[in-house]
Amino acid sequence: MHKIKVTDIQIIPIVPKDGLVGFASIVLNNLLYLSSIGIYTRLEGGFRLTYPTKKVEIKNINIFYPISKEFAAYLEISVTKKFEEVIKARLYANE
């Protein structure tokens, strides 16, 4: 079994709305592409991730999501770091 590693992250910042500040797409082990991951601000600071769902009749079905807390934390840390880099680069580009 391969150790799962984030090998690429793409960030699309948006104008903040209801806490949503951007979207992330990630590649795992250069083998699996996952997109439409929402990046939200936390009230206490920092960011949290949400994963895509599809509405089927009256029920929302998860498309994908991390199962373990450890892997969820790893993804959150990886995406947050990249999001902060992208925002910082945009701020410096506008100076």
Distance between CA 72 and CA 60 in Å, rounded? Answer: 20
Which residues are bridge partners to 88 per DSSP?
none
pLDDT > 60? residue 1: no
* Both tokens assigned to 24: 């992330």
- % of the chain with per-residue pLDDT over 90: 88
Domains (range + CATH), the chain: 6-93 (3.30.1120.40)
The residue whose two tokens read 């979207």 is 23
| pLDDT at res. 2 | 63
Report residue 95's pLDDT band, with 50, 70 and 90 as the boundaries.
low
DSSP assignment of 11-55: EEEEEEETTEEEEEEEEETTTEEEEEEEEEE-TTSSEEEE--EEE
Secondary structure element (H or E) that encloses residue 84, with its range: helix 69-93
| pLDDT at res. 11 | 98
| pLDDT at res. 92 | 81
Distance between CA 29 and CA 44 in Å, rounded? Answer: 32
pLDDT > 60? residue 65: yes
Global pTM reads 0.90
